[in-house]
Amino acid sequence: MAIPEEYKLKCDFTIPERYKHHVLTNRKEPNIPACNVKTIPGDMTERGCAFAGSRGVVGGPIGDCIQIIHSPSGCAWYQWGTRRNLSDIYAWAGPNTLCNDSQNRRRAVTSDLLEKDVVFGGMEKLEKTCLEAWRLIPGAAGILIYTTCTSGLIGDDCPSVARRVEREIGKPVFVIDSPGFCGVSQSTGHHHFNVQFYDQVVEYREKHPEACMKEEEKGPYDITIIGEFNMDWDLAYIKPLFEKLGCRVVAVFTGGERLGNLLKIPDAKLNVLHCQRSCTYISDLIKEGFEVPYVNASFFGIEQTAKALREVAEFFGSEEMMEKAEQIIEYELEVISPAIDFYRERLTGKKVGMYVGGPRVWHWQRVMKELGMKVVFGMCTFAHEDDYEKINARAEDGVFLVDNPNEFEIEECLERFKPDLFLTGLKEKYLCRKLGVPTVNSHSYEKGPYACFRGMVNFARDIYEGVYAPVWKFARDKDFI
Ligand code: SF4
């Protein structure tokens, strides 16, 4: 349904095509905005490129691989120390060896393509870069090579370089071919990483059967957690819940994970899928190729975490596990209830706006309800139709949704809806500060983890501290709020 006249944002009068991207939620007849399409020329989108999706989101959190970006140095600029997808892989320094084997936030390696490489080809340089990085970090489990716009356009044959380097170092070398230009947003890069990583895992397992889990090592309740990137140690709350349930977590795709465990993903009995935007692809492929089913889950909030535990227990059909799930839920609720009650009392009725990549806008609708807060608008950078269907199903009717917003739309929505809190990322927080609107970093968190029952307390605390920070009395523009 077209957006009602009174909801049309003034800033878009000069690009009326943007109105197709705006809707009001409706539970009975979901309203889906135009989404996952090219950004309109002239619209200053905040989207990332496909390479950002493959390296920055899905592949980046792998902890023990050297990640090489085959690009001019610019593409590698925003690649380390940014997203707080943590890892616990450490090693000691040795002669000619850097001191930390945890690759995912520590280092960005680029082949540093220059003009002459564009003219004469960059394959030789890529090979040298791989071998030099390997000499410096010999403890790494393998190498991931990412192509970018430049290497994609000049057509370097990266798989042949990977095969040569693999022979030389005796470890897996995978190529993820997802140049920035090849999709409408970072979402394309998520997809590419899933498919290409899966194909190379399958091929590697065929050539190296020792990389697969042996029959005698397999357990009846082996699970993997797919689409979980260990933001600010979310896994410290997720894994123990499933272990208490009686499951063994074989691997996480990809938060802080080791490549050796990722090669064993097809050997699990069940995949538990958290980020259903970026990682449904690989879950479908594993289901098709290895007959390992998956369940969709959300680890945010009380109700959704409880549902995830119950559904995993139900999948295994074990009475004991189902009882265990109820005991875990009861115990966790007892532990967190006093704190959650405290925050709910103070946050009830507060208005919240949300701007995240895609899935968190629907994951967090219920979390906000559990805190008594009212979502007044939502924005997604790269959501697809199924994300908007889920938002429609979970939100109150009449919540204003904006697909792929630009900064002017964000500013106008803040002015129009006057939220008490804006759940958003780093870039937007400065605009919000100027307008006197509190934010909570919704990509990398403030003081996480935010997942599961106890993470909910941290999330509620950060929201409370943001909303009630005394500074807003001084910083807030009286005409604005
Ligand atoms: S891959 Fe392309 S769009 Fe992405 S950062 Fe590099 S040059 Fe820019």
Domain ranges of the chain: 5-41+337-475, 50-183, 215-331
| Confidence class for position 110, pLDDT limits 50, 70, 90 | very high
Report which ligand 1 atom has the smallest distance to the Cα of 149: 2
Q: Who contacts 188 (Cβ-Cβ below 8 Å, separation ≥6)?
A: 50, 53, 178, 182
Ligand 1 pocket residue status of 63, Cβ below 6 Å: no
Measured CA to CA in angstroms, residue 18 lies from 43, 344, 401, 403, 409 at distances of: 9, 36, 12, 9, 10
Q: Is the pTM of this model over 0.75?
A: yes
pLDDT per residue over 293-351, tens digit each? 999 999 999 999 999 999 999 999 999 999 999 999 999 999 999 999 999 999 999 99
Q: Is the pLDDT of residue 100 over 70?
A: no
Torsion of CA 9, 10, 15, 16, to 10 degrees: 60
| Confidence class for position 95, pLDDT limits 50, 70, 90 | low
Ligand 1 pocket residue status of 75, Cβ below 6 Å: yes
Closest residue CA from atom 3 of ligand 1: 180
Report which ligand 1 atom has the smallest distance to the Cα of 50: 4
Ligand 1 pocket residue status of 48, Cβ below 6 Å: no
Q: How far is the CA of 229 from the centre of ligand 1 (A)?
A: 22
What CATH architecture is 215-331? 3-Layer(aba) Sandwich (3.40)
Q: Please state the rounded mean pLDDT for residues 455-479.
A: 89
Q: How far is the CA of 300 from the centre of ligand 1 (A)?
A: 32
Ligand 1 pocket residue status of 180, Cβ below 6 Å: yes
Predicted confidence at residue 352, as pLDDT, reads: 98
pLDDT per residue over 2-60, tens digit each? 889 999 999 999 999 999 999 999 999 999 999 999 999 989 999 999 999 999 999 99
Catalytic residues: 49, 52, 83, 190
| Confidence class for position 474, pLDDT limits 50, 70, 90 | confident
Predicted confidence at residue 99, as pLDDT, reads: 52
- Among 148, 158, 188, the mutation site with the greatest number of ligand 1 atoms within 8 A of its Cβ is 148
Q: Please state the rounded mean pLDDT for residues 79-88.
A: 75
Q: Please state the rounded mean pLDDT for residues 424-453.
A: 93
Ligand 1 pocket residue status of 71, Cβ below 6 Å: yes
Predicted confidence at residue 478, as pLDDT, reads: 61
Q: How far is the CA of 162 from the centre of ligand 1 (A)?
A: 21
CA distance 209 to 412: 57
Closest residue CA from atom 5 of ligand 1: 75
Q: Please state the rounded mean pLDDT for residues 80-89.
A: 74
Distance of CA 44 to the CA centre of its chain: 23
pLDDT per residue over 13-23, tens digit each? 999 999 999 99
CA distance 469 to 451: 24
Predicted confidence at residue 225, as pLDDT, reads: 98
> Percent of the chain having pLDDT more than 90?
87
Contact 55, 67 (CB under 8 A): yes
> Percent of the chain having pLDDT more than 70?
95
Domains 5-41+337-475 and 215-331 belong to one CATH topology: yes
Predicted confidence at residue 77, as pLDDT, reads: 85
Predicted confidence at residue 1, as pLDDT, reads: 75
Closest residue CA from atom 7 of ligand 1: 149
Q: Please state the rounded mean pLDDT for residues 283-302.
A: 98
Predicted confidence at residue 139, as pLDDT, reads: 84
Closest residue CA from atom 6 of ligand 1: 75
Ligand 1 pocket residue status of 179, Cβ below 6 Å: yes
| Confidence class for position 382, pLDDT limits 50, 70, 90 | very high
Ligand 1 pocket residue status of 148, Cβ below 6 Å: yes
Q: Is the pLDDT of residue 96 over 70?
A: no
Q: Is the pLDDT of residue 477 over 80?
A: no
pLDDT per residue over 239-257, tens digit each? 999 999 999 999 999 998 9
What's the CATH superfamily of 5-41+337-475? Nitrogenase molybdenum iron protein domain (3.40.50.1980)
Q: How far is the CA of 71 from the centre of ligand 1 (A)?
A: 8
| Confidence class for position 93, pLDDT limits 50, 70, 90 | low
| Confidence class for position 91, pLDDT limits 50, 70, 90 | low
Q: How far is the CA of 312 from the centre of ligand 1 (A)?
A: 39
Query: Chain-wide mean pLDDT for the chain?
Result: 94
What CATH architecture is 50-183? 3-Layer(aba) Sandwich (3.40)
